[in-house]
Amino acid sequence: MKSTESKQIFSAKLVDELRDKYGRRSFQIRKGDGIVVTKGDYKGVEGTVMRVDPKKAFVYVEGVTRESAEGKQILVPLRSSSLVIKKLKLDDKIRQRKIGERPVQEADKGGR
């Protein structure tokens, strides 16, 4: 899988507040992001990304677990298309730079 393909696979939509704030529709998911599940059995569950598996294209979220046959709690793999990013982890310089690349559009500057 090429790096451009993995970026597309692991990107998820942003919540409306973040979309307005950063001027972007979606962002690449990474460990530590706060997300909300929008589809499936775990719809509405909020949590933090614990792990991203690029080979299998799965995202593992804290709070989305099931019981294994041995009785242990295991993380359930989710696709990024069923997630919405609610909180971005901004401790990475590259990610901060990417946020600053696109100018934020201001609503009604007036004058017209």
Picking from 49, 44, 41, the residue whose alpha carbon sits closest to that of residue 12 is 49
CA distances in angstroms from 90 to 21, 97, 98, listed in the order given: 14, 10, 10
pLDDT tens sequence across 20-71:
988 889 999 999 999 999 999 999 999 999 999 988 889 999 999 999 999 9
Q: Please state the pTM of the whole predicted model.
A: 0.79
Beta strands in the chain (DSSP E): 11-14, 26-28, 34-37, 46-53, 58-67, 73-78, 83-87
Task: Identify whether 110 is part of a domain.
Answer: no
Rounded to 5°, angle at Cα 34 from 28 and 38: 80
Task: Identify whether 51 is part of a domain.
Answer: yes
- Domain span holding position 76: 3-90
Task: Identify whether 30 is part of a domain.
Answer: yes
Task: Identify whether 9 is part of a domain.
Answer: yes
pLDDT tens sequence across 79-97:
999 999 999 998 888 888 8
Task: Identify whether 97 is part of a domain.
Answer: no
CATH number, position 39: 2.30.30.30
Task: Identify whether 72 is part of a domain.
Answer: yes
Domains identified in the chain, total number: 1
